[in-house]
Amino acid sequence: MDSPLQRIKQYIDYKGVTVAQLERSIGMSNGSFASQLKNNKSIGSDKIENILRFFPDLNPAWVFLGTGEMTNSTHETSQLEKKQLPDNKFFNAESIGILKDTSDDSYVSKNGMIFFEIGNGKLQMLMPLVESYAYAGYLQGFNEVEYLDELPKFSIIVDKYYKGIYRAFQVRGESMFDGTIQSICSGEVAVGRHISKDYWKSKFHLHQWEDYIIVHNEGIIIKRIIRHDVENGIIVCHSLNPDKDIYPDVEINLSDCLEIYNVIQTTRTRQF
């Protein structure tokens, strides 16, 4: 009897999607789906849910139970089918050193960001997502490629290829909630652009980027930086929550920080 994994393979063969494309699209590490298929292992329900979300025409009952038709009667276009690739696949991107060829219809920057063309001059950019329960693990694996590959992926829509390192962090706690439009609420996802340690020696652009994701050696916090003492390597972090008995301003020594990202966008979870 076919397993859900085998039925998914049957479906992507029908759709003309490669295993490598499937793995990258839903955030599986390279070769993991193929290995599970070869060894006749099961696939986690969370991965199946991601696949069903990515391919809305795939019938869940058929995947899990083998009943009914493979595809839903009301066809919805999958995200891979929506891509409109240009005749010149790489435009001039490869020549300016942004991208490397992935041998499929995605583009991967040298910093590991994955880009898909979705039409109308827009791109879908995928990056690792650090969910709130995974904060502790990230402190140990933040600079390990294998760990980052295993993280789920989060996407935003952009209008060009970006060279930087981007991460998405699920927000935990109420320290940045003040009831205004500036609030960063628990459960939201904050997308950040990495600030190289070389730039920590210069004053942060606090007038342009107010909120930051700080990967400290004792945990991950999202705060507003209100002062940067460059000479002494100290930042003053501010919580938007008005309860200063619980959320006072704190000084953090940059020597105790592993990474810092400026927050470029916050949104509800949308992962693949």
Q: Which domains does the chain carry?
A: 4-65 (1.10.260), 128-267 (2.10.109.10)
Residues 154-166: what's their mean pLDDT? 90
Distance (Å, whole) CA 28 – CA 204? 35
The two tokens of residue 72 are 């839903």
**Residue spans of alpha helices (H) in 42-91:** 45-54, 60-65
Q: Please give the full DSSP string across 154-176, using - where no structure is assigned.
A: EEEEESS---S-EEEEE--SSTT
User: How far is 247 from 174, CA to CA, in rounded Å?
Assistant: 9
Residue positions counted in the chain: 272
What's the mean pLDDT in 113-122? 84
Per-residue pLDDT tens digits for 55-90: 778 888 888 878 888 987 554 445 444 443 333 333
Task: Using DSSP bridges, classify how beta strands 219-229 and 234-238 pair: parallel, antiparallel or unpaired.
Answer: antiparallel
pLDDT at 247 over 60: yes
Please report the pLDDT score of residue 71 as a whole number. 87
Q: How many CB atoms lie within 10 A of CB 120?
A: 7
- pTM, two decimals, is 0.63
Tokens 């990258």 correspond to 24
Rounded Cα gap, residues 224 and 125, in angstroms: 25
Q: Is 90 exceeded by the pLDDT of residue 242?
A: yes
CA-closest candidate to residue 82, choices 54, 119, 53: 119
| Mean pLDDT value of segment 241-258 | 96
